[in-house]
Protein backbone atom coordinates (compact mmCIF):
# COMPACT_ATOMS: atom_id res chain seq x y z
CA UNK A 1 0.00 0.00 0.00
CA UNK A 2 2.88 2.21 0.66
CA UNK A 3 3.96 1.78 -2.88
CA UNK A 4 0.53 2.76 -3.99
CA UNK A 5 0.66 5.95 -1.96
CA UNK A 6 4.12 6.81 -3.28
CA UNK A 7 2.88 6.26 -6.85
CA UNK A 8 -0.20 8.30 -6.13
CA UNK A 9 1.88 11.10 -4.64
CA UNK A 10 4.26 11.09 -7.56
CA UNK A 11 1.28 11.09 -9.94
CA UNK A 12 -0.37 13.97 -8.08
CA UNK A 13 2.88 15.97 -8.09
CA UNK A 14 3.33 15.38 -11.83
CA UNK A 15 -0.35 16.28 -12.40
CA UNK A 16 0.03 19.44 -10.28
CA UNK A 17 3.18 20.46 -12.19
CA UNK A 18 1.50 19.75 -15.53
CA UNK A 19 -1.61 21.62 -14.41
CA UNK A 20 0.43 24.58 -13.22
CA UNK A 21 2.47 24.59 -16.44
CA UNK A 22 -0.66 24.45 -18.63
CA UNK A 23 -2.45 27.14 -16.64
CA UNK A 24 0.51 29.52 -16.88
CA UNK A 25 0.90 28.73 -20.56
CA UNK A 26 -2.83 29.28 -21.21
CA UNK A 27 -2.66 32.52 -19.21
CA UNK A 28 0.36 33.67 -21.21
CA UNK A 29 -1.31 32.80 -24.54
CA UNK A 30 -4.50 34.53 -23.41
CA UNK A 31 -2.51 37.62 -22.39
CA UNK A 32 -0.66 37.61 -25.76
CA UNK A 33 -3.97 37.38 -27.61
CA UNK A 34 -5.45 40.20 -25.57
CA UNK A 35 -2.38 42.35 -26.29
CA UNK A 36 -2.62 41.51 -29.99
CA UNK A 37 -6.33 42.37 -30.02
CA UNK A 38 -5.59 45.67 -28.25
CA UNK A 39 -2.83 46.41 -30.79
CA UNK A 40 -5.22 45.63 -33.68
CA UNK A 41 -7.85 47.88 -32.11
CA UNK A 42 -5.30 50.70 -31.82
CA UNK A 43 -4.22 50.20 -35.42
CA UNK A 44 -7.84 50.14 -36.57
CA UNK A 45 -8.75 53.29 -34.66
CA UNK A 46 -5.64 55.08 -35.97
CA UNK A 47 -6.48 54.04 -39.53
CA UNK A 48 -10.10 55.11 -39.11
CA UNK A 49 -8.94 58.51 -37.81
CA UNK A 50 -6.59 58.93 -40.77
CA UNK A 51 -9.29 57.93 -43.24
CA UNK A 52 -11.76 60.20 -41.49
CA UNK A 53 -9.36 63.15 -41.71
CA UNK A 54 -8.60 62.33 -45.35
CA UNK A 55 -12.29 62.07 -46.20
CA UNK A 56 -12.94 65.36 -44.40
CA UNK A 57 -10.17 67.05 -46.42
CA UNK A 58 -11.52 65.60 -49.65
CA UNK A 59 -15.01 66.85 -48.84
CA UNK A 60 -13.70 70.34 -47.97
CA UNK A 61 -11.67 70.42 -51.18
CA UNK A 62 -14.73 69.25 -53.12
CA UNK A 63 -16.80 72.07 -51.61
CA UNK A 64 -14.09 74.61 -52.43
CA UNK A 65 -13.92 73.34 -56.01
CA UNK A 66 -17.70 73.53 -56.30
CA UNK A 67 -17.63 77.13 -55.09
CA UNK A 68 -14.78 77.99 -57.47
CA UNK A 69 -16.65 76.30 -60.33
CA UNK A 70 -19.79 78.28 -59.55
CA UNK A 71 -17.79 81.53 -59.33
CA UNK A 72 -16.16 80.79 -62.68
CA UNK A 73 -19.54 79.98 -64.22
CA UNK A 74 -21.00 83.24 -62.95
CA UNK A 75 -17.92 85.15 -64.15
CA UNK A 76 -18.20 83.53 -67.56
CA UNK A 77 -21.86 84.46 -67.82
CA UNK A 78 -21.02 88.02 -66.76
CA UNK A 79 -18.23 88.21 -69.35
CA UNK A 80 -20.63 87.04 -72.04
CA UNK A 81 -23.13 89.68 -71.01
CA UNK A 82 -20.67 92.59 -70.86
CA UNK A 83 -21.57 95.33 -73.34
CA UNK A 84 -18.20 95.19 -75.08
CA UNK A 85 -18.59 91.48 -75.77
CA UNK A 86 -21.87 91.86 -77.65
CA UNK A 87 -20.52 94.77 -79.67
CA UNK A 88 -17.40 92.79 -80.56
CA UNK A 89 -19.55 89.88 -81.73
CA UNK A 90 -21.75 92.21 -83.75
CA UNK A 91 -18.65 93.84 -85.25
CA UNK A 92 -17.35 90.44 -86.33
CA UNK A 93 -20.71 89.59 -87.91
CA UNK A 94 -20.77 92.93 -89.72
CA UNK A 95 -17.20 92.44 -90.95
CA UNK A 96 -18.10 89.06 -92.42
CA UNK A 97 -21.13 90.59 -94.12
CA UNK A 98 -19.00 93.42 -95.57
CA UNK A 99 -16.44 90.92 -96.85
CA UNK A 100 -19.18 88.94 -98.57
CA UNK A 101 -20.66 92.08 -100.09
CA UNK A 102 -17.25 93.14 -101.41
CA UNK A 103 -16.87 89.79 -103.12
CA UNK A 104 -20.43 89.54 -104.46
CA UNK A 105 -21.31 93.18 -105.33
CA UNK A 106 -19.07 94.93 -107.89
CA UNK A 107 -19.88 98.59 -107.00
CA UNK A 108 -20.04 98.10 -103.27
CA UNK A 109 -16.29 98.05 -102.62
CA UNK A 110 -15.58 101.60 -103.79
CA UNK A 111 -18.62 103.05 -102.02
CA UNK A 112 -17.62 101.18 -98.90
CA UNK A 113 -14.06 102.47 -98.98
CA UNK A 114 -15.28 106.07 -99.33
CA UNK A 115 -17.74 105.61 -96.47
CA UNK A 116 -15.03 104.04 -94.29
CA UNK A 117 -12.61 106.91 -95.01
CA UNK A 118 -15.27 109.51 -94.14
CA UNK A 119 -16.21 107.66 -90.97
CA UNK A 120 -12.57 107.40 -89.86
CA UNK A 121 -12.05 111.14 -90.35
CA UNK A 122 -15.24 111.88 -88.42
CA UNK A 123 -14.15 109.53 -85.65
CA UNK A 124 -10.77 111.27 -85.37
CA UNK A 125 -12.50 114.67 -85.17
CA UNK A 126 -14.79 113.33 -82.46
CA UNK A 127 -11.81 112.84 -80.12
CA UNK A 128 -10.25 116.28 -80.48
CA UNK A 129 -11.54 119.53 -78.94
CA UNK A 130 -14.29 120.57 -76.53
CA UNK A 131 -17.25 120.52 -78.92
CA UNK A 132 -16.77 116.86 -79.82
CA UNK A 133 -16.31 116.08 -76.12
CA UNK A 134 -19.65 117.68 -75.27
CA UNK A 135 -21.31 116.16 -78.33
CA UNK A 136 -19.98 112.71 -77.49
CA UNK A 137 -21.11 112.77 -73.86
CA UNK A 138 -24.34 114.72 -74.11
CA UNK A 139 -25.81 113.65 -77.42
CA UNK A 140 -28.05 110.61 -77.15
CA UNK A 141 -28.30 109.82 -80.86
CA UNK A 142 -25.37 109.17 -83.12
CA UNK A 143 -25.09 110.75 -86.55
CA UNK A 144 -25.48 107.29 -88.06
CA UNK A 145 -28.96 107.11 -86.58
CA UNK A 146 -29.75 110.57 -87.93
CA UNK A 147 -28.51 109.62 -91.40
CA UNK A 148 -30.64 106.47 -91.31
CA UNK A 149 -33.64 108.53 -90.27
CA UNK A 150 -33.03 111.04 -93.11
CA UNK A 151 -32.62 108.24 -95.64
CA UNK A 152 -35.91 106.76 -94.45
CA UNK A 153 -37.61 110.16 -94.95
CA UNK A 154 -36.17 110.46 -98.47
CA UNK A 155 -37.36 106.96 -99.34
CA UNK A 156 -40.88 107.81 -98.20
CA UNK A 157 -41.02 111.18 -99.97
CA UNK A 158 -38.99 110.07 -103.05
Cβ within 8 Å of residue 143, ≥6 positions away? 122
CA distances, 141 to each of 64, 82, 88, 94, 144 (Å): 47, 21, 20, 21, 8
pTM reported for the whole predicted model = 0.36
Q: Assess if residue 74 is contained within a domain.
A: yes
pLDDT digits (tens, 9 = 90+) for 45-82: 999 999 999 999 999 999 999 999 999 998 888 777 76
Q: How many residues are given for the chain?
A: 158
Query: Which residue did the predictor score with more confidence, 127 or 66?
Result: 66
- pLDDT for residue 137 is more than 80: no
Q: Assess if residue 34 is contained within a domain.
A: yes
Chain-centre distance of CA 4, in angstroms? 93
- pLDDT for residue 109 is more than 60: yes
Would you state the pLDDT for residue 134? 64
- pLDDT for residue 151 is more than 60: no
Would you state the pLDDT for residue 83? 65
Q: Assess if residue 16 is contained within a domain.
A: yes
Q: Assess if residue 3 is contained within a domain.
A: yes
Q: How confident is the model at residue 154 (pLDDT cuts 50, 70, 90)?
A: very low
Can you give the residue range of the structural domain that contains 44? 1-81
Cβ within 8 Å of residue 122, ≥6 positions away? 143
CA distances, 9 to each of 16, 34, 50, 66 (Å): 10, 37, 61, 83
Which of 69, 96, 10, 119 is CA-nearest to residue 18? 10
Number of domains in the chain: 1
Q: Assess if residue 38 is contained within a domain.
A: yes
Determine the average pLDDT of the residues in 85-109: 78
Q: Assess if residue 110 is contained within a domain.
A: no
What angle do helix axes 2-81 and 83-104 make, rounded to 10 degrees?
Answer: 60
Which of 11, 12, 15 is CA-nearest to residue 23? 15
Q: Assess if residue 98 is contained within a domain.
A: no
Q: Assess if residue 33 is contained within a domain.
A: yes
d(CA 120, CA 102): 19
- pLDDT for residue 104 is more than 90: no
Determine the average pLDDT of the residues in 121-148: 60
Amino acid sequence: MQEFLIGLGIGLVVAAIASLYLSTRIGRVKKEKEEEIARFKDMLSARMELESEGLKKVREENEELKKANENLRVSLMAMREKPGRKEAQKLQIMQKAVDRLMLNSPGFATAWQVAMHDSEEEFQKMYSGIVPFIKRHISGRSEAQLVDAREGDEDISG
